[in-house]
């Protein structure tokens, strides 16, 4: 993308060899995530190669790389795992300090590995997977099962892991519980899958787009409702439906008003609300403080609470063991040069996840 508000442009790009502790990867498949759609509207450095939900094969490694070698199948990670910071050393934490300290738009040494038409091109989210080749730090790469189908497991790079883990790790959904999921896109459906895997008895999907209801029920939702079908606020509808409010509620849209509604939908004493959707930087939440008096809790979640390098390979193994199915999440598969068409599908709401093949 050359400029703010611009569309994706297919260009010939020179990708430099990896430097120390870096890996050059031939990307095979990458998902088009809602995060890209939001970030296109935000201020970023341009020109930039976006993409952060990818899987590929290691082409070459820089000096000092010891955990992957050429020929290995890998998944790219927007959330690194350095293994040394306080977060990485804490068993309950996954927000590696390297995410905050790194140049997410440049490599560690402050330079780019991409050149196009003689100009350096910025990286995105430490990954830049909308490219046949990309260079990533070793701490942002996870080696996976050599038999894994990359056009499926690329979703474990972000969308699936984020939603599935929000239910299992962040909320810690309990067997027999009642859950509500606000937003039934790719990540929201992954939350539904996580709630089901955790043994929830009732999973209520909430979305204004009723076309998503059938897919939500296919992956585990027991019922679906649209706020537009009611004259009263959606949190009152959910409290009436359940009698007490839901035990676990997930906001997977990134809408501050929906965060307030999701929290108000929770059981007053032990309800847990998890923000999974990406809220824009600086957005303020307008929440009635009295909601917390009786014991409700509001939590954030990044990458579903998984330690990225450590857990992604295990999630891929679980997929290979048929513990979950990614197929329902993939509604479109296209070649990378159709990326603007894929963006159009995402904007219509008819596309859950589009996988781009390189």
32 within 8 A of 354, measured Cβ to Cβ: yes
Rg (CA), the chain: 20
Active-site positions? 33, 36-38, 52, 82, 85, 88, 96, 158
Q: Residue 238: left if φ>0, alpha if ψ -120 to 50, beta else—which one?
A: alpha
Q: What is the pLDDT of residues 296-331, one digit of tens each?
A: 999 999 999 999 999 999 999 999 999 999 999 999
Confidence of residue 281 (pLDDT cuts 50, 70, 90): confident
Q: Angle at the Cα of 218 (from 323 to 237), degrees rounded to 5?
A: 115
174: alpha, beta or left? (left if phi > 0; alpha if psi -120 to 50) = beta
Residue 29 β-bridge partners: 55, 357
Structure tokens at 303: 């990458």
The encoded tokens of residue 357 equal 């093949």
- Please give the torsion angle defined by the CA atoms of residues 45, 48, 54 and 56, in that order, rounded to the nearest 10 degrees: -130
pLDDT > 80? residue 36: no
Dihedrals φ, ψ of 206, to 5°? -125, 120
Mean pLDDT value across the chain: 95
Cross-strand bridge partners of residue 250: 181, 274
* Residues 179-223: tens digit of each pLDDT: 999 999 999 999 999 999 999 999 999 999 999 999 999 999 999
Q: Note the pLDDT of residue 34.
A: 76
Q: Using one digit for the tens of pLDDT, what is the confidence trace for 98-126?
A: 998 777 799 999 999 999 999 999 999 99
Share above pLDDT 70 across residues of the chain, in percent, rounded to a whole number: 99
With the C-alpha atoms ordered 227, 233, 237, 242, is the resulting torsion angle positive or negative? positive
Q: What is the pLDDT averaged over residues 242-257? A: 97
Please give the model's pTM, rounded to 2 decimal places.
0.96
Query: Hey, CA dihedral for 206, 342, 132, 49, is it positive or negative?
Result: negative
Name the strand (E) or helix (H) holding 334. strand 332-335
Cβ(276)–Cβ(191) below 8 Å: yes
* C-alpha to C-alpha distance for 257 and 186, rounded to whole angstroms: 21
**Rounded to 10 degrees, what is the CA torsion of 299, 304, 307, 311?**
150
Which residues face 73 on adjacent strands?
Answer: 57
* H-helix or E-strand spanning residue 191: helix 186-197
In sequence order, what are the beta bridge partners of 143? 74
**Is residue 41 scored above 90 in pLDDT?**
no
Domains along the chain with CATH numbers: 14-159+305-357 (3.90.180.10), 172-300 (3.40.50.720)
Cβ pair 271, 292 in contact under 8 A = no
Confidence band (pLDDT; 50, 70, 90) for 37? confident
């Amino acid at each position: 993308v050359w400029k703010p508000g611009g569309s994706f442009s297919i260009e010939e790009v020179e990708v430099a060899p990896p430097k120390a502790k870096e890996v050059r990867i031939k990307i095979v498949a990458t998902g088009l995530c809602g995060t890209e759609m939001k970030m296109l509207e935000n201020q970023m450095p341009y020109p930039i190669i976006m993409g952060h939900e990818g899987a590929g094969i290691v082409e070459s490694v820089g000096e000092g790389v010891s955990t992957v070698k050429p020929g290995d199948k890998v998944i790219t990670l927007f959330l690194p795992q350095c293994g040394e910071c306080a977060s990485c050393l804490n068993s309950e934490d996954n927000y590696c300090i390297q995410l905050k300290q790194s140049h997410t738009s440049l490599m560690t040494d402050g330079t780019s590995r991409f050149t196009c038409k003689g100009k350096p091109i910025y990286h995105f989210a430490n990954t830049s997977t909308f490219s046949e080749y990309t260079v990533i730090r070793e701490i942002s790469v996870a080696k996976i099962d050599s038999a894994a189908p990359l056009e499926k497991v690329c979703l474990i790079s972000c969308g699936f892991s984020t939603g599935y883990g929000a239910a299992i790790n962040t909320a810690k959904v309990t067997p027999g519980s009642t859950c509500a999921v606000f937003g039934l896109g790719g990540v929201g459906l992954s939350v539904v899958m996580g709630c089901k895997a955790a043994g929830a008895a009732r999973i209520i999907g909430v979305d204004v787009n009723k076309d998503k209801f059938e897919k939500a029920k296919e992956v585990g939702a027991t019922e679906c409702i649209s706020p537009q079908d009611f004259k009263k606020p959606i949190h009152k509808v959910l409290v009436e439906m359940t009698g007490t409010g839901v035990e676990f509620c997930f906001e997977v849209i990134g809408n501050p008003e929906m965060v307030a509604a999701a929290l108000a939908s929770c059981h007053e004493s032990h309800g847990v609300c998890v923000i999974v959707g990406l809220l824009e930087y600086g957005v303020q939440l307008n929440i009635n403080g009295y909601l917390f008096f009786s014991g409700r809790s509001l939590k954030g979640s990044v990458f579903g609470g998984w330690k990225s390098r450590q857990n992604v390979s295990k999630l891929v193994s679980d997929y290979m063991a048929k513990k979950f199915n990614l197929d329902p999440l993939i509604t479109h598969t296209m070649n990378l040069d159709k990326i603007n068409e894929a963006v159009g599908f995402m904007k219509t709401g008819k596309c859950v996840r589009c996988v781009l093949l390189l």
